Structure 1
């Protein structure tokens, strides 16, 4: 029997043995700054005393609960029969917290030492203890009840590591919010950015303006005592809560409740569609500032954090331009255009915020040199915008590349970095060609641009400009059998061009945004034999003084296609990878190691943290079939297909007239994760060819599992009306598996190279996005297997 004795005491910390070996291979996430191993281990068997030193009562209870929840998974735990022991788990804060609510830039570093007789976790304050506690809990999950002796020294890279949850577009109940906070704590994230007002609803009880929650919430809003409860719940776990109150745009809900505050008269109705809408607060109306002052005061009572996010984005100036009152106000204040009016409005707003000791935070659009330097700008426009903000002396956060409402490969988020600088442009001389192109999207304007490719002794290099943005260097440029490929990470996602350049008058091929192919057209516009002409407007460079102005980043889960029953599935486990990018050293980059740990974190989050990503998929699949039907065929099928990535699903719904709040989100696609980790396994196995002799066996095992699953899958679909539309996708998976068998049987044979072009075109056809909003993205992996089997690319 193992008995853990809980003692709250103040005891001096003893010394530890010196570290003797360093391991780069511990399955923790985020990865610590330093890990060193010593001889021996600490056994969780038997009697152990727990000492919580200099830790406040609320957090002591929380820490005890966390340890009890973890230790109960091991046999013969008895917390009631307290016995003394020489073996200890000591958690020591040098200073007890005077205030429960965390603050920006509070120290979060910690030192965790595991020795034969004692586990010591020490930190300058309680936040560091909380972060170290999560590492200890992960170690227990990884190693079980025998922990190897080690020393971990750890601290975060950025002080702001956030998650934005949108409770407006679809309302998120409190239990679901709290569960994500538990996940955030496990991942060492420290800011919940709570999006509470927007066009589709008002989610906060307002005593001063009650029609906001009475008329513009559909009865779905948070009462004031509920919000205070969430703020305290988060604070105990070392997480700040920053609310967002959208001003002056995204104001359709305000327009429903108080149309007299809007720039043009109503009437207005609740906005059910997604997009950018016209209602704007009237800056010429004094009552607008009374309204804002009242709301800011109410928010200040609920949210003690010094920051208040005012949105400030996507202001459509149409109403201001049509309003005689607003135009007269602009003349009176010498405001030449709507941009100047918006800045003027923000200056007034900043003064109101200052009266409540609040710092203004907003999206890129609020950035203006007329505003004081203490504002914080959150960038959705990308690294160029963030660099400009930081170089101008303003603090900023990155969210571009962390928009996890989009299904994207976790590796794309993992490569994203708030201080990442553009790769140097190629300088090699050789035969070059320049093309212009157009990539139509399903919604919105086309993506246009130019790219230049230079072929030299060092290989194929190039640069690209998208939508008149700064020039970017290409990555992984290669050519084989007339097919030219290159890629980069863009605001849309991982962007891969696969092109045939044999006809100067007609560009052919496709562009993959994540897993989703888009068409492309264009023509060659210049060629040459030496170095291509220099192009201007390269990416801005972050100066050394400005690096400290970048506080970190935030992942965002906008809720157009997110509801409570798939929230966890959309967030986890990939949020651990984003948390690592914001916590760990920038040198932690190995994507294969990341994915291996991400799988472990997915298991850990399900088994120990209480997140529901696995259960939500299981429950969702069960809802699609008859009661007591076996859903395993559907689970295996889900390994081979994915949601269409980027905003493709949004755009397909827009085209179908379903881009609104009442759209069903209970189909097969809604219960898929952002990325199939089985497909990651397949792709990684293909990448290991031919160096790893076991790789082909891994590939065969995955494809055999899919093949053997097909009869049961088709039988299940035949008896499940909700799955009927997926039958063509299952049929195409059968075709794909037949092609994969042909490729494997003829691998490295001359006949396969002869057939390669025809097989590739078939694979491209199978990879097209489906009306069901899914992509048979396993076809992309099989194409990489084809590339291997017909021979290496020419670099």
Structure 2
């Protein structure tokens, strides 16, 4: 079976799930835990009576506003002017919590479940808490958006799988105005995400007004910071929508901004200047200086006043110990406290920090590096290092969150995020006896150290199976493996993204082929280190498995939008609609994971997020494209072109900027590539059609129609590119699309014919050449789809 086709098939798809979707036409995301369809419909009419019971005044206003907004766009339905805090049996739309919330601030780990009953007589949304009501409201709004004159009678009983479902927004690398963040909060509420993790301090800036240490925002923010009034406004705005706000105060590293404002608190003397580049830098707070702890206590006090949530994130990641090692005062302090090395000093610092936080009734939260058995069990560790790290944290009795695999600042296929489960990690089983071989490989990256590893393949009656180890991590099974002619393919998900090896194994001394990380091809080298036939030698493995007792220690996960190549003008475009898929992974039952079903609903969310919520992903692309051409130009030409291309995925764009000397705060982020989404949904649809070739004639017709649309667009597109200085360097990419369309026509014309097999190797070589990263960090990803077409037609 073709690899691309297999990707679209989930082994755990439930027939009942599809029956539910078909019966209810429920284009819902996240998908509810349980839907039961019933007889009849509820007609949507003018003057529907809304009754709100046990709902606080701010949330009552919000609920009514959202319903009125939804129904204003509806062809027939409207609310009546009547509103009451008392239940009335005549209400057609009843929304009721068991009791009014004791606090306007959402509380950690509250019951967020709800029950939504639609009958011919009316709609009843009930929940134990106001948070549950808010979640049910979002489901109701999606149902209304996708309905015409009536709602199908149904019962939805729903609750989240994980209590922590977050989004980190980085306001430091590039400042994000308050209104842009508020808009993302509206989207988060719609996706049933419940935590905004606000990254406010880092090397490139300090974004919080401070009364105690005003030079922080006066000298280290470039004038771009949030006032205390603005922060309180945003916290209240989020709270009404059921979203907690957890701030991040980065300590002791990522401290270049602190160094600019208060160099006397840093381990080595300055002077320091504002850091404009991206990366990990040396300034560290001086743990031997008592004034550092006064500084921290004052700041924690200010943060505690602004952010009522019980958690405060202290960062704690990527501590470069160089300054500590060079400071005589720090070294003397370490000797005094019998601290053996910089890691011990970091833990010692975190212990003192934890005590300060406890004095303000705050729980410490930080990245993997803060994890240490000398810290109390009530800390929360957020893992950017992956499932191995998270498993170790949870098994040790500490609570944790997963962010690896949810880094949405990286353009990645939505299916990659969708497969990423905080509590599920694939462990290898013994390979079946057969013809086996073991290879060593090295994959150079554009920045940082190369990825190295070994893989073992076994060919038997069970097919091609294998295991792989990357960078000395745990051994992993290959998700998919196959042979097409003399080409061997296999893949798995890694911290880099969906990683596909495409190899020629005909020369034991020289491994040939490529590695696709997402859509970005990387070269590799290597050699065979062993082979045999029969029982495959056991590979040494000390994999850490999540214990059943530790599962409850994993609270959920957070998507992260780091802002090195993200600005307000493309923030929505980077997040939506794929954030709905991550939200579903954290909300919905684990069994709901079929990619076709997900994409069906994600494409509906693409429009709902725009017109139903007010997110600006579509608008930002249109405005971005319009900024690149003359006012009279037809940007639809660029929109059609954008269906066939994508940003280079993983951190390829970042690394290319680093190589070119452009990895800094002043780099332009308003080129064509900056107005592309993370993934072309048009290519998703094309790949789905390709997976049905050649048996499905409608799919073949759909493919031809898509290719014809691109072909018809080409003459006017190339003329537009020639007329715009902003697009001039895309001319070779447009010409490559011409070549690709010609190859596609050849493949379709000879599908399943002997002559195609004779040309396959040459065609594949041409397709690989067209898939390289091109100008503006763009990949002609359609070439990967046409290669799948070639495989289907062989």
TM-score, reference length from structure 1: 0.96
Distance in 1 of aligned mates of 2:521 and 2:312: 40
Alpha carbons of 1:733 and 1:596: their partners in 2 closer, same or farther (altered >3 Å)? same
- Check 1:640–1:426 CA distance in 2 against 1; reply closer, same or farther (3 A cut): farther
2:165 to 149, 161, 164: 161
Q: What displacement does 1:76 show?
A: 6.1
Partner of 1:35: 35
Output aligned runs, 1:471-486, within 5 Å.
471-486=475-490
Structure 1 distance, partners of 2:718, 2:149, is 44
Deviates more, 1:503-512 or 1:87-96: 87-96
1:133 is aligned to 2:137: yes
Q: 1:587 aligns to what SS in structure 2? A: coil
**Which residue of the other structure, out of 554, 571, 577, is the alignment partner of 1:550?**
554
Match of 1:446 in 2: 450
Q: How far has the Cα of 1:80 moved from its partner? A: 6.7
* Deviation string, structure 1 residues 44-68 (Cα, Å, up to 9, x no partner): 1133110000100000000000000
**Structure 2 CA distance for partners of 1:684 and 1:539, relative to 1, 3 Å:** farther
Alignment of 1:117-196 (within 5 A): 117-196=121-200
1:196-246 Cα deviation digits (max 9, x unpaired): 000000000000000000000000000001000000000000000000000
Deviations 1:82-107 (A, max 9, x none): 69994610001001111011111100
Structure 2 residue aligned with 1:49: 49
Partner residue in 1 for 2:13: none
Which position in structure 2 is the counterpart of 1:66?
A: 66
- The reply on whether 1:672 has 2:676 as its aligned counterpart is yes
Q: Any idea what SS the aligned residue of 2:566 has?
A: coil
How many Å apart are 1:382 and its aligned residue? 0.3
Q: How many residues align?
A: 771
Question: 1:684-703: CA deviations, max 9, x gaps?
Answer: 11112345331111111111
In the alignment, which residue of structure 2 is the partner of 1:735? 739
2:383 equivalent in structure 1: 379
2:773 aligned residue: 769
Q: Please say if 1:241 is aligned against 2:245.
A: yes
Match of 1:458 among 422, 439, 462: 462
Find the aligned partners of 1:36 and 1:76 in 2 and give their Cα distance: 26
Equivalent residue number for residue 20 of structure 2? 23
The one-character-per-residue Cα deviations of 1:481-519 (angstroms, maximum 9, x if unpaired) are: 110000000000000000000000000000000000000
User: In the TM superposition, what whole-angstrom CA distance separates every residue of 1:718-750 from its partner, at most 9, and x where no partner exists?
Assistant: 111111000100000000000000000011111
Is 2:649 the partner of 1:652?
A: no
1:314 aligned residue = 318
**8 Å CA contact retained: 1:422, 1:539:** no
Moved more, 764-773 or 688-697: 688-697
Partner of 2:449, secondary structure, is coil
Give the distance between the partners of 2:702 and 2:322, measured in 1 at CA: 58
Contact 1:425 1:472 in 2 (8 A): no
Hey, what does 1:594 align to over in structure 2?
A: 598
5+ residue gaps, structure 2: 1-17
State the distance in 2 between where 1:79 and 1:379 align. Answer: 46
User: What is the DSSP-based 3-state SS (H/G/I as helix, E as strand, rest coil) of the residue aligned with 2:774?
Assistant: coil
Structure 1 equivalent of residue 625 of structure 2? 621
Q: Indicate the structure whose relative CO is greater, using CA pairs within 8 Å and at least 6 residues apart.
A: 2
Alpha-carbon deviation of 1:448? 0.5
Query: Structure 1 CA distance, aligned partners of 2:479 and 2:19?
Result: 33
Distance 1:78 1:493, change over 3 A: closer
Q: Which residue of 1 aligns with 2:98?
A: 94
Q: Secondary structure at the match of 2:250?
A: coil
Deviation readout 1:135-159 (Å, 9 max, x if unpaired): 0000011123310100000000000
Find the counterpart in structure 1 of residue 289 from structure 2: 285
Provide the secondary structure at the position in 1 that maps to 2:459: strand
Residues 365-376 of structure 1 correspond to what in structure 2 (within 5 A)?
Answer: 365-376=369-380
Distance change (3 Å), C-alpha of 1:254 and 1:166: same
**Deviation, structure 1 residue 396:** 0.1
* Superposition RMSD in Å: 1.4
User: Deviation at 1:24?
Assistant: 3.4
Whole-angstrom distance in 2 between the partners of 1:705 and 1:78: 41
8 A contact 2:251–2:315 mirrored in 1: yes
How many Å separate the matches in 1 of 2:489 and 2:759?
20
Instruction: Report the secondary structure of 1:432's partner residue.
Output: strand
Q: CA deviation at 1:404?
A: 0.3
In 1, Cα distance between equivalents of 2:783 and 2:176: 36
Aligned partners of 1:87 and 1:117 also within 8 Å: no
> Where in structure 2 are the equivalents of 1:384-399 lying within 5 Å?
384-399=388-403
**Is the 1:47–1:87 contact (alpha carbons within 8 Å) kept by the matching residues of 2?**
no
Aligned to 1:300: 304
Residues 76 and 409 of structure 1: is their aligned pair in 2 closer, same or farther, counting only changes over 3 Å? closer
- Does the CA contact (< 8 Å) of 2:44 and 2:76 recur in 1? no
**1:621-770 to 2 correspondence within 5 Å?**
621-770=625-774
Out of 606, 610, 616, the position equivalent to 1:606 is 610
1:352 maps to 2:322:
no
The answer to whether the 8 Å contact 2:430/2:538 transfers is no
Structure 1 residue runs of 5 or longer lacking an equivalent are 1-20, 791-795
- Tell me by how many angstroms 1:538 deviates: 4.4
Match of 1:261 in 2: 265
State whether residues 694 and 751 of structure 2, in contact with CA within 8 Å, keep that contact through their aligned partners in structure 1.
no
C-alpha distance in 2 between matches for 1:305 and 1:694: 54
**Partners in 2 of 1:566 and 1:531 — Cα distance?**
53
Pair 1:523-2:527 in alignment: yes
Q: CA deviation at 1:535?
A: 1.5
Secondary structure of the 2:473 match is coil
TM-score normalised per structure 2: 0.96
SS at the partner of 1:349? helix
